[in-house]
Structure 1
Amino acid sequence: MKIKLANIELLLLDVDGVLTDGGITYSDTGDQIKKFHSRDGFGIRLLMDSGIRVGIITGRKSKALTYRCEDLGITLLFDGIKNKTKALDKIISQTGINPEKMAFVGDDLMDLPVMKRVGISFCVSNACHEVKLHSDIITKQKGGHGAVREICDSILKAKNLWDNILNKYLS
């Protein structure tokens, strides 16, 4: 599995239940409020700063997600997607990256078609049972509680980039 992780060029993420804990809060004006974990964001930045692309494929649209992607510098944003495999096809076409060099993180049934097409499929520890059965790697952390950071760190370590990152903060 380390070899597959080392070959990852693009990490794709679902949002609700992966980057968030799956809860959806609405304000009195009907706006969605999402809570993101800062360590997940830092892990995403570490990946991107190391040359590994990160993208989003999610069924729900929200201004909160748009702001989060802008904050992190994620430009591959496919939100409001009903058919995630069509979004994957667009990403393949846009980036030229082979799906075998992609990883996807999901938590529910609608994520399975993409998970089956990429090189490595991850799911968070609180994913539904069926998704766990079809995942290559299940995180120790729950969605919205550092699971994405766990994945980012594992990719960076497999690519032998972790020591340089760590030393930058130790020196």
Structure 2
Amino acid sequence: MRELEHIRRAAAVKVMIFDVDGVLTDGTLTYGPDGEATKVFYVLDGLGIQLLNKTGVKTAIISARQSPIVVKRAADLGISHVYQGIHDKRVAFKSLLEETGVTADQCGYIGDDVIDLPLLLQVGFAVTVPTGHSEVQHRAHYVTRANGGRGAVREVCDMVMRAQGTYEQALAPYFA
């Protein structure tokens, strides 16, 4: 029954929103000699986002931390809505809803810590990763099998496309 519930929720997603640290990355923060933070992204996750974009699902990033690397990665992947340095993620979420014209029920969000709870409790499809905080796991509609920064995002993108019946179409160019 629970599996059917998260598939139903994934089918309704029109905007998929991603946290960065612990979701698009494994959550490790590495600092260079000048104090700049570096991030490592997983290519399978990136292609999943690009494929999801091609099916018409909009994608967004909402992160409490600020990083020029995130802006670069978002541009590379075609993520057009990027909100960074916002600790009250509800503020960014409200702006995103206004910009896209969707309702909270039509959004999915994947986050991993208690700072993500205000959004996870509002969206129609709330997702976390296996390394996410226990309070987040308890309230999420779905916990991925893969870890953040190691395929969790791809798992969710594939799930949304399958639930919406667009998965085969999205992959078709690779089988030609």
Q: CA RMSD in A?
A: 0.9
Query: 1:167 is matched with which residue?
Result: 172
Q: Contact 1:32–1:63 (CA<8 Å) still a contact in 2?
A: no
Query: 2:104 is matched with which residue?
Result: 99
Structure 1 portions without partners, runs of 5+: none
Query: 1:114 is matched with which residue?
Result: 119
Alignment of 1:21-170 (within 5 A): 21-170=26-175
Q: Secondary structure at the match of 2:160?
A: helix
Shift of 1:98: 0.7
Query: Is 2:18 the partner of 1:13?
Result: yes
Q: What amino acid sits opposite 1:20 in the alignment?
A: T
TM-score by length of 2: 0.94
Could you tell me how far apart the structure 1 residues matched to 2:87 and 2:59 are?
A: 20
Q: Contact 1:109–1:130 (CA<8 Å) still a contact in 2?
A: yes
Could you tell me how far apart the structure 1 residues matched to 2:90 and 2:170 are?
A: 34
Q: Secondary structure at the match of 1:117?
A: coil
Could you tell me how far apart the structure 2 residues matched to 1:162 and 1:50 are?
A: 8
Q: Secondary structure at the match of 2:121?
A: helix
Q: What amino acid sits opposite 1:124 in the alignment?
A: V
Shift of 1:169: 1.6
TM-score by length of 1: 0.97
Shift of 1:96: 0.8
Q: Secondary structure at the match of 1:112?
A: helix
Structure 2 portions without partners, runs of 5+: none
Shift of 1:164: 2.0
